[in-house]
Amino acid sequence: MRESFALPSDAALALLNSDATLTRKAGSFLGQTAVDPAPLTAAQSKWLAGLLEHAGLPPLEGGDE
Average pLDDT for 49-54:
98
Report whether 61 contacts 10 (CB < 8 A): no
Q: Give this prediction's pTM.
A: 0.89
Residue 32 has pLDDT above 60, yes or no: yes
Each domain of the chain, given as residue ranges in start order, spans: 1-37
Query: Which conformational region is residue 34 in: left (phi greater than 0), alpha (psi within -120 to 50 degrees), or beta?
Result: alpha
What mean pLDDT value characterizes the chain?
94
- 41 DSSP assignment: P
Report whether 16 contacts 31 (CB < 8 A): yes
